Structure 1
Amino acid sequence: MRPEPTVVVAAIIHDGGRILRTRRRPSIRAGGLWEFPGGKVEAGETAAVALEREIREELNIGIRAGAVLCETDTPTAAGVIRLVCMWATLEDAEPVLSTDHDLLEWVDPSSISPEGWCEPDWYAVGLLRSGATPD
């Protein structure tokens, strides 16, 4: 019997045609790689509730979770990660600090490539490069 995947949510925070990407601090696993901010879904949480909580904890801002962009499973040394990427809009000012990241950057989604990103995020990056929008 295979263990259940670890469910992780990630926010595709969009604002005026830009999206927020975050670079993991060098001192944590996968340090130096880009990712969309988020974290693990806890028992009893929906993906949307978990995403809003994780962004409050990591970036100290409020967001409103929207539709799911994609859901993918990625095998890792620690087990399978099921990443649920969701569109999100800011409810507060833009974030300036993060507990897990050393750089926060607003980018045009068509200009990003999967190089330098955490592997679970690659599929979402491809969708964004191809023109995926929250509408």
Structure 2
Amino acid sequence: MDSPVIRVVGAIVERDGAVFAARRNADRSAGGLWEFPGGKVEHGESPEAALRRELREELGVDVTVGEFVDRSLSDVGTARIELSCYAAQFAGEDPSASSDHDAMQWVPLTELSSLRWAPGDVPLLEGLPERLGSLRRDSEAE
């Protein structure tokens, strides 16, 4: 029997060579691990709309969702998590509180491996600086 696939989205917010990361509350699944903030895609919702909704709910911020960055598949318990990450920018102030996280910080791209990441986010870390650089170059060329 195939595991159910849960579609999840994450925001990769980059600024000045660092990305925004959030640590899951201890009482949540993957508690104490770092992630790119986001959440589940609801039935009938586009990934971009889900990302905007989730960041509004969890972080109290509006975001501009940009290009698709990467996708990972991971097994968590009896479910399969499909995490799709998009480049994003905060539309106003940076988040100062979160309903799902106990810490938030900007992490230099060169120091991503210094954090303990949630399993679904780990595959996205390899080559991330290059993918983000490629997206920047593509958008500057347009």
Larger Rg: 2
Q: Where has structure 1 moved over 4 Å in runs of 4 or more?
A: none
Percent of residue pairs bearing the same amino acid type: 35
User: Deviation string for 1:28-65 (max 9, x for gaps)?
Assistant: 12111001100000011110000011000010001011
Task: Give the Cα–Cα distance (whole angstroms) in 2 for the partners of residues 102 and 56 of structure 1.
Answer: 17
- In 1, the alpha carbon distance for the partners of 2:78 and 2:12 equals 24
Give me the whole-angstrom Cα distance separating, in 2, the residues matched to 1:107 and 1:36. 11
Q: Taking structure 1 as the reference length, what is the TM-score of the superposition?
A: 0.92
Partner amino acid for 1:69?
V
Deviation for aligned residue 1:88: 0.3
Instruction: Return 5+ residue gaps in structure 1 as ranges.
Output: none
Q: Aligned-pair distance for 1:3? A: 4.2
**Partner residue in 1 for 2:111:** 111
Within-5 A mapping of 1:1-135: 1-113=1-113, 116-128=116-128, 130-133=129-132, 134-135=135-136
Conserved 8 A contact 1:33-1:116:
yes
The answer to which structure has the higher helix fraction is 2
Q: How many residues align?
A: 134
- Cα distance in 2 for residues equivalent to 1:126 and 1:62: 27
Cα deviation code 1:50-82 (max 9, x no counterpart): 001100001000101111111111112131000
CA RMSD of aligned residues (A): 1.5
Task: Rate the CA distance shift 1:4–1:27 in 2: closer, same or farther, 3 A.
Answer: closer
TM-score, scaled relative to structure 2: 0.88
The 1:19/1:38 distance shift into structure 2, 3 A limit, reads: same
Q: Is the 8 A contact 1:110 1:131 kept in 2?
A: no
Instruction: Return the letter of the residue paired with 2:88.
Output: A
For structure 2, which runs of at least 5 residues remain unmatched after alignment?
137-142
